[in-house]
Structures are given as structure tokens and as C-alpha cells.
Amino acid sequence: MEESKPVTKAHKIKHTRQKVADLTPHSPVRRLELVVLRVYPRRMVYSEHYVGPVAAACGRDETGIIGLILWNEQIQRVNVGDILVIESGWCREKNGELVVSTGKKGRLSILNR
């Protein structure tokens, strides 16, 4: 029989799924799972921090709908109906609505198509 490793508090926090209803502006996104509802056309951004393509999108979980920002290759990878996981991202407020993104250090993965 295999010994099971004890589950630490840090381990639970790292893998705890957040919900849209619990997100707040100017806060990190540890792990968020969303179904993609819509992907808007890409546009080019030229700023001192980033030059490249960006696309807006929106997704939802069982608690609500949220805006999504897709960067570079994420734009081609993500399709309507995909189930995404955003890890180590951020949540901001834009025009009174919450928006999430992976930012520079986060990760986006597709669970299911």
C-alpha cells in the first residue's frame, strides 16, 4: 500500500479554484476555470510595456460572467466553448467591469474543447 502524503495548507490554497463571484479588482487570480462565451477581433497595442496583438473575450463559471484579455498566441489557441484555466494571473476593473488576464507571469491552459 502506498503512503499518502499529508495535504498542507499551502497545497490546498494553490489548487483551490476561485469563482468569478469571489474576484475583486486589483487582486491576484490563483486558479480560475471559465467557459469561453465570445472572442472579439484582435487588435494591435503599442505601449511602453507591450507591443503586440491583444483580443478581448468573455467567459463564465457557475457564479457569473467576466471579461478576459488574451495576449499573443493565446488569441489563436482559444475558441468559443473552450474551458480555460487561468493560473497566477490578475484581476482588474475596466469601465466598471471585472477583467482577468494571465499578464506576463501567469499561465493559460485549455482543459476541454
In the chain the domains, ranked by start, together with CATH numbers, are: 17-112 (2.40.50.140)
pLDDT in tens, 76-107: 999 999 999 999 999 999 999 999 999 889 99
Q: Which residues are CB-contacts of 20 (< 8 A; sequence separation ≥ 6)?
A: 32, 34, 60, 61, 63, 64, 65, 66, 98
Average pLDDT of the chain is 89
Share of the chain above pLDDT 70, in %: 86
Read off the pTM. 0.82
Q: Mean per-residue pLDDT for 36-60? A: 95
Q: Which residues are CB-contacts of 36 (< 8 A; sequence separation ≥ 6)?
A: 57, 58, 59, 68, 78, 79, 80, 81, 82, 83, 84
